[in-house]
Amino acid sequence: MPLKNDDEAKRTSALALWRYAHDYLRGAQSLCRQHRITCVDSQVPHHLAAQGIEFALKAHLRAKGVTMALLRTEIGHSLTKALAQCEAQGMPPVPTRWRAAIAEIAACHQNRQFVYLAAPENAFPDINPLVDAGVWILDRIAPQVVEHFVLHQTGDASPSTEVFLRRLRADLSATSDVVRPQSAGYFHVHAELREPSDVGRPRDRGLDG
């Protein structure tokens, strides 16, 4: 039983949710790059991107101490509720250019199913705004996620906080140019994307939370 509880703690940790989020976002991005399928024929990229954003937001809430039980009962799969809670708990506001994309997909990403996203007959999915939004969120919450890991999961073989943070952001920079390396070896969000006030694997449909 202790081993099972330990595995559950790792699987639902802030870092695990962070990684799930990035994997879902990369999956959505890869599908769009490898296959030219119209929105009418497949909305899998949108579904994956929505799930990635959900995990990203919940990673921040987990890092802030919100339990999985509360995420299930208070947030469910609502991106609108998750985003509001994240910003209430210190996450910088998502830039305006991406809020509309999140709001649109939030209407489809419901608790019991992914509702069809209406699109013109010959339109192809433009997943970049959702991927960029998700990567921006993951970059902004990365310090809190690493801090949570250090407090609750770190071991003797774990990298330093600085190295760990750089590794996470290096992964993000390979997915979106919202995050890019600096000459000093650090990563940050593009200055022009900042708001004025800003200076292992899940089951299908997430972790049921």
Instruction: Write out pLDDT tens, residues 11-51.
Output: 899 999 999 999 999 999 998 888 888 866 778 888 899 99
pLDDT digits (tens, 9 = 90+) for 86-130: 999 999 999 998 999 999 998 888 877 777 777 767 777 788 999
Cα dihedral value 35, 36, 42, 45, nearest 10: 60
Going by their DSSP bridges, the two strands 187-189 and 179-181 should be labelled as antiparallel
Is-above-0.75 flag for pTM? yes
